[in-house]
Amino acid sequence: MTEGSISCGIHNESIYDIYHKYTRKKILFIAGLILLIIVLIGVAASIGSANLPLYDVYAALISRFFSFGPESTWTADVVLWKLRFPRIFMAIFAGMALGITGVVMQSVLKNPLADPYMMGIQSAAGFGASLAIIFGTGFLSGGYLIAGNAFLFSLIAVGIIILLSDMKDASAETMILTGIAVMFFFSAMTTFIQYFAEAEAVKSAMFWAVGDLGKTSWDDFYIVIPLLVCCFLFLLWKTWDMNILAAGDETAKSLGIPVRRVRITIMIVSSLLVSGVVCFIGAIGFVGLVSPHICRLIIGGDNQYLLPASGLVGAVLLIVSDTVARTIMSPAIIPVGVITAFIGVPFFIYLIMFRKGEFW
């Protein structure tokens, strides 16, 4: 443990300097992740059925956003901006949303296994989408029929969880149990309506439910980016509250936190964030669960740094998974939700079996 070696030099330095150094390490980790993502954008965009040189990728990016810079070739431009960039950028934002929500739900619910998947948000979105796909009806029409329905039903799921748990004691345990109940309910409902539907419709509903970044269109970003920015800033502001909530309700109350209200607000905001992403790309498991744990192993449990770090690790995981999904059986494209599970499961088992010390 590197912390041990730092604490040896305690006599020469003030606690403030030591703490400062310790936090600087975390900031460096976050900065490193941002760099990694920039590199991954280039690598991911250059790989595919038509391989492009890295230079073309960055040239295309720079020339789009700035008036100067190198001219990019027309084919590269089409391949990149029509096919590859939308899914790569969606991978980044969706990964962030999932990684952030994972951290938030785990600390607010005081449970290392909590993630958006377990809270039934994704299965409710799946049900909403199935309704739209199979019956062609929904609350919004046109291009947003499926996404709108998925979003609405994931909000209904959150509403049920919050209402029921608030009627009792708004404790973490109640929220988790109602979340699991809601998840099973919506899964059963989805199966139920699929049972009576046409084979083709069932197939496309099934495909929707397995997360796929290929559905992304540029218009989606008008919703995803503002939502991500607003929710991220709010949640970042509440990270200290989250640290204290994870130490137990009684402790949190004695430190002046109105536990009930704070837990409910944070749950609503984080659910909103993940619903806003899931409704466009479908359910993607494991990213929300694994990213927080990876980061906790590296930079410790302080949510102020864990929140952005986990968001970035989520983005990295999703870019890598999606690139694998696009290329491994090319020309066939495997839905990214399958790959995150394939990569996530062994990795997660590795963490459980070989982690050092008591981390969660």
Partner 1 sequence: MTLSFEGITLSYGTVPVLHDLSFEFSDAEIVAVVGPNGSGKSSLVKCLNQLVKPQKGSVHLDGECINELHPREIAKKFGYVPQNFMDTFPATVMDTILMGRKPYSNWRSAKEDIVKVAEVMRMLNLEPFALRYHSELSGGQRQKVMIARAFAQESKVLLFDEPTSQLDIKHQLEIMDLVRDTVRMKKILAILVVHDLNLASRYADRIIMMRDGRIQAVGDPKDVLTEENIKAVYDVQSLVMHDGGIPCVVPKQRIEN
Rule CB under 8 A: which residues touch partner 1?
3-4, 6-7, 10, 14-16, 18-19, 22, 106-107, 110-112, 237, 239-241, 243-244, 246-248, 250-251, 253-258, 296, 300-302, 304, 357-360
Closer by beta carbon to partner 1, 159 or else 300: 300
**Cα(12)–Cα(286) distance, rounded to whole angstroms?**
44
Bridge partners of residue 210, in order along the sequence: 283
HEC string of 136-174?
Answer: CCCCCCHHHHHHHHHHHHHHHHHHHHHHHHHHCCCCHHH
Closer by beta carbon to partner 1, 110 or else 210: 110
**Cα(98)–Cα(275) distance, rounded to whole angstroms?**
10
Nearest distance in Å: CB 341, partner 1:
24
**Cα(281)–Cα(213) distance, rounded to whole angstroms?**
6
Nearest distance in Å: CB 236, partner 1:
8
CB atoms < 10 A from the CB of 280, how many?
25
* Kind and range of the H or E run holding 44: helix 15-46
Closer by beta carbon to partner 1, 295 or else 320: 295
In angstroms, the Cα distances linking 9 to 13, 64, 294 are 7, 50, 28
Bridge partners of residue 283, in order along the sequence: 210
Closer by beta carbon to partner 1, 77 or else 302: 302
Residue 190 tokens read as 């989805």
**Cα(207)–Cα(66) distance, rounded to whole angstroms?**
38
Nearest distance in Å: CB 12, partner 1:
12
CB 123 within 8 A of CB 342: no
Closer by beta carbon to partner 1, 256 or else 331: 256
Closer by beta carbon to partner 1, 18 or else 197: 18
Nearest distance in Å: CB 254, partner 1:
4
Nearest distance in Å: CB 104, partner 1:
12
Nearest distance in Å: CB 167, partner 1:
16
Nearest distance in Å: CB 347, partner 1:
19
Nearest distance in Å: CB 306, partner 1:
9
Closer by beta carbon to partner 1, 29 or else 240: 240
Q: Which of 170, 304, 294 is nearest to 243 (CA)?
A: 304
Closer by beta carbon to partner 1, 207 or else 359: 359
Closer by beta carbon to partner 1, 184 or else 237: 237
Nearest 5°: phi and psi at 140? -115, 160
Nearest distance in Å: CB 270, partner 1:
16
Residue 232 tokens read as 């991220």
Alpha carbon of residue 259 to chain centroid: 25
Q: Which residue matches tokens 């443990």?
A: 1
**Cα(158)–Cα(265) distance, rounded to whole angstroms?**
11
